Structure 1
Amino acid sequence: MTTPEADLNRLHAWLKAAAERGAVPVVCGANGDMDTVASAVGLASALPQAMACGRHLGRLAKRLVEVEQAPFRRLSRPTAWPASLGGLVVVDAAAPSQLDLDLPEGVPICVLDHHATDGWDLDSEDLSLRWPVSATTEIVTAYLSRHAPEALTLPVRRLLMAGLITDTGRFKHAGSSSFQSAVALLDDDGLDYRGLVDRIETDADLTSSDHGALLKGLQRAKTTDAGSWRLVTTRAGTLEGRVASLLLGTGADVCFVVRHRDGRTRVTGRARAQACRDGLHLGQLFESLAEVHGGEGGGHDGAAGWTSNLDRVAAETAALAAVASTNRSEVKD
């Protein structure tokens, strides 16, 4: 096992070699959440040949990228890549399918990720840095601090901090490395942490229709005991993660929000930090469901998702059964 310092040195050498060959797109996951977008923007800021890009920008990421005027290019399918590619960096995506792009052939790939699952089949010229941290922004922060401190401008640090805050669930699911990253990003007192949190939590991007969808999701909620776990389920057509997080406030151990659209069913899950300490890992649970029932599943211990071709009832039933079969080992705070 290599040390973090050795990993970062290998990453620096790989990026330097790729930049000498040509353009280096830094591609984020298709969900466009704050962690993946901030990681792409942050890493790209250290390399003139790099450009942060991806299929989609989530609501929060889109708002903060616009506020910070951060360079980001939206990609489509079929995907048009630069004529001269030196390498492709992928951040915060556990498999090629999570990019929703047509990847170029014969181009070296570097993967930076923190998820437990790994669906990449890499060659000898490729590189994978998979750290057991709470957010990919931690890897990028460590790299910039060591090899490109001049790239840690105030806008970049704000974006990286926003990715760290959101992917750790406001630090409820954070490890010690998350706080070390936060200290590094707050180092010179220029970052207004309270102001950033207020900006993250504002509902400025929610329409009246969105508020209605949130209320409907809450009204449809049902509670049940799944083995030794208290579980709440509901249906929603949008903002599933936010609905699930709101439902955790009812005291449930885990919440599932199910969406069926265009023949595909998406189960979005959120779990309390105590439930995760007691043995529940939604990312591994959804990965196992995908292996058995098909589709794509994975994520964090406390925030994950599974998309399949099952109908809504079958997908929800399978998810509930998986939770019920998970043993609970009580770990007191």
Structure 2
Amino acid sequence: MLISEAEFGSIISRYKNVLYLCHRNADPDAIGSAFALAEAFGGAVGAADGLSRTGKKLSDTIGADVLIDPVAEDWDLIVVVDTSIHLQLGRISLSRYGLVDHHQDEGLLEGAEFYIQRPAKSTAEIVWKILKDNGRKPSREMALGLLVGIISDTGRFKRASAESFQAASELLEAGGFDYDEALQALSIAPDISQRIAVLKAASRAKIERQGEWLIASSRANSFEGSAASALIDLGADVAFVAGRHSGRVRISARSSRKAVKAGLNLNQMMGEIGRDHDGDGGGHSSAASFDAQGDPAPSCKDAGRWRLGSCLE
């Protein structure tokens, strides 16, 4: 059942024991959003598998106590936050749940008791509207967590909308802190293992030119998303980086703003490919991934099969 932000408070009040659950490798948008909802309406914050480094930094900064791999049966209701597909929840099996998310995948909609899903630039923007529409004033920590989520998911406002900027302004005023403090909650120097993984992926990269478009593919043992982003920074229009994890393949994809404006939608593409290989995938139009069965060997020949050429014309 689709609900509005204003309806969230009355519906969530029907449940006594609520968990706000983040996706695996939970990022600042997920952590900040789940924390704000738990503080405003009561409940606990959980995450599948663990937190990203920036997610952990934010949780420490705002004092969020995050339960890792909580048992679903212990809760009257689970509100899945910033998560679009079952695969992102690892081993956690859902029964009674709601959804608050800004992705456009439909994987979790059918079984949800209720959901709020619209194409905002971050889930934090949706959560901020939930708080406002239900008359809930944020604490300093809640406002900080939501602002950091917006900053993170918009790439420090490079992909921001008018709603993003308005929400950021309101959160700065509500929280009584300055922008630099929010940036400090995201500031983590990459550790040496991440730097090595990114550099190795760059050295292994294969490049295909399709007209004026450059498509890069590579492999990494970890940090596939960071490696794909680095290939975009180095000049690729689209980048795929694959790795193997626990017997399955994970491929992260990134694209330039130019490619997105030309019509490329990595969210749709990665979802289709993942399901074709006994898995699933999704994300954003410019940043997505999938997890599936198969061999982690993306090649430029695969790019043609994935219809990149028809997308980038």
- TM-score, normalised to structure 1, is 0.85
Residue 145 (structure 1) aligns with: 132
1:169, distance to aligned residue in structure 2 (A): 2.0
> Does structure 2 retain, via aligned residues, the 8 Å contact 1:253–1:272?
yes
Paired residue for 2:143? 157
8 Å Cα contact 2:198-2:230 kept in structure 1: no
- Give the Å deviation of 1:188: 4.3
Map of 1:118 onto structure 2:
106
Change (3 A) 1:264 1:317: farther
**Which residue, out of 200, 203, 217, partners 2:201?**
217
Q: Does 1:11 align with 2:12?
A: no
Describe the shift of the 1:199–1:90 C-alpha distance in structure 2 as closer, same or farther (beyond 3 A): closer
* 3-state DSSP of counterpart to 1:46: helix
Distance 2:94 2:230 in 1: 40
Deviations 1:258-300 (A, max 9, x none): 1123321111011112211111111011112123333111110
1:286-325 aligned within 5 A: 286-313=270-297, 317-319=301-303, 321-325=305-309
Q: CA RMSD in A?
A: 2.4
Matches within 5 A, 1:177-188: 177-188=163-174
Partner of 1:169: 155
Is the Cα contact below 8 Å between 2:267 and 2:284 reproduced in 1? yes
Distance of 1:263 and 1:141 partners within structure 2: 39
Identity across matched positions, percent: 30
Deviations along 1:160-180, whole A, 9 cap, x unmatched? Answer: 112111212222222222222
- Unmatched 5+ stretches in structure 1: none
2:263 is aligned to 279
1:24 is matched with which residue: 13, 18, 26? 18
Query: Deviation of residue 80 (structure 1)?
Result: 5.9
The answer to whether the 8 A contact 1:299-1:305 is kept is yes
Equivalent position SS for 1:172:
coil
Change (3 A) 1:209 1:88: closer
Unaligned runs of 5+ in 2: none
> Aligned partner of 2:122: which letter?
A
Shift of 1:327: 2.9
- The answer to whether the 8 A contact 2:216-2:300 is kept is no
- TM-score normalized by structure 2? 0.90
Q: CA deviation at 1:104?
A: 5.4
1:134 aligned residue (110, 121, 130)? 121
Partners of 2:143 and 2:174 within 8 A in 1: no
Aligned to 2:225: 241
What per-residue deviation string (whole Å, max 9, x for no partner) do you get for residues 141-183 of structure 1? 1111222432x22222221112111212222222222222212
Distance 2:123 2:175 in 1: 23
